[in-house]
Chains A and B, each alone.
Chain A
Amino acid sequence: MISEFLNMNGYGLYVWSSFSIVLISCAVVYLRTRKTLRKYEQEFLKELQSLSQEEQSKAVATSKIAQQILATNTKTN
């Protein structure tokens, strides 16, 4: 029954190739996008931490994004 399902009446090669290509490409793009996002978040955080205490507080006070990234990082740590 499983081999019948995999064979798809002779069209298995085409059907499974199509679904596999789509799933693999989407997974690769997802992982690469997530990796880039995390890289930028870390770089932003490093940049923020390299500032003096005064500059840092000013940046956090004026930027909602800085607040968010800092909050997310605190949660994950």
Chain B
Amino acid sequence: MLKFLSPSNVYSFIQSLIKFINSIFFLILLIGLTFALILSPPDFIQGDSVRIMYVHVPSAWIGLLCFSVITILSILNFIFKIKNFYLINKSIAPIGLLFTSLAIITGSLWGQPTWGTWWAWDARLTSMLVLMFFYVLYILCFKFIKTDEATVKWSSIVAIIGSINLPIIKYSVDWWNTLHQPASIKLTGSSSIHSSMLMPLLVMLLVFLLYAALIFLMKYKTEIIRIKKKNIKKT
């Protein structure tokens, strides 16, 4: 059914995509940084510390996005047994871990000037930390479980259990009284962020998404080569 997505068929497409992202990435990064550090205005209350938002928010979103994709592909893999999904998940997990860690670190650096503390055991912060632990656990499944079948089974279990945390992260600021502010950007309904800040945020999100895609493609390509190398003598 998904034969056109087989590693052999997508390999040359991956190569072209990597080249394309490499060719546009630095230009978009430069535009994003100019907006984030120079052109966007300081916040009325938070002053220039609000600029941390331009790296903190996209990191958190990508951290969540990666785990959501991992969960969906794990469920599909459980049902349809498509090995390709396992390779995709293995390539996505380190990216998710990187961005979740960056969201926590930059959040801490934003928390100190605005809340007066580096860390609080607040619902949003704690649930993000839990997500980071799930990423670590997920990656450890690939490192320490020897057979592919057992790895798929245990990593899928970790992903599915970890996915319970995703709505908790999203709604923690509504369900509990937290230090963390409620969402300023809503897909449904009006956002409370001004366009002069929304624009740089979206450009930085694009930069982070391109970077995540680039790393994913390189890791996925590595996985394909690793498997083909194992099978080269069998062909």
Contacts and interface: CB of A to CB of B under 8 A. Distances in A.
Contacts of B33: 19
B215 interface: yes
Interface in B37-71: 37-38, 42, 47-49, 51-52, 55-56, 59
A68 interface: yes
Nearest to A55: B233
Interface on chain B toward A: helix, strand, loop, or mixed SS? helix
A53 interface: no
Nearest to B53: A18
Nearest to B207: A26
A73 interface: no
Given A15-B52, A26-B211, A64-B8, 20 more contacts: A8-B47, A9-B47, A12-B48, A15-B49, A17-B109, A18-B56, A19-B55, A21-B109, A22-B55, A22-B59, A22-B102, A25-B101, A29-B215, A30-B214, A44-B229, A47-B232, A47-B233, A59-B235, A68-B12, A69-B225
Interface of B: 7-9, 11-12, 15, 33, 36-38, 42, 47-49, 51-52, 55-56, 59, 94, 98, 101-102, 105-106, 109-110, 112-113, 211, 214-215, 218-219, 221-222, 224-226, 228-229, 232-233, 235
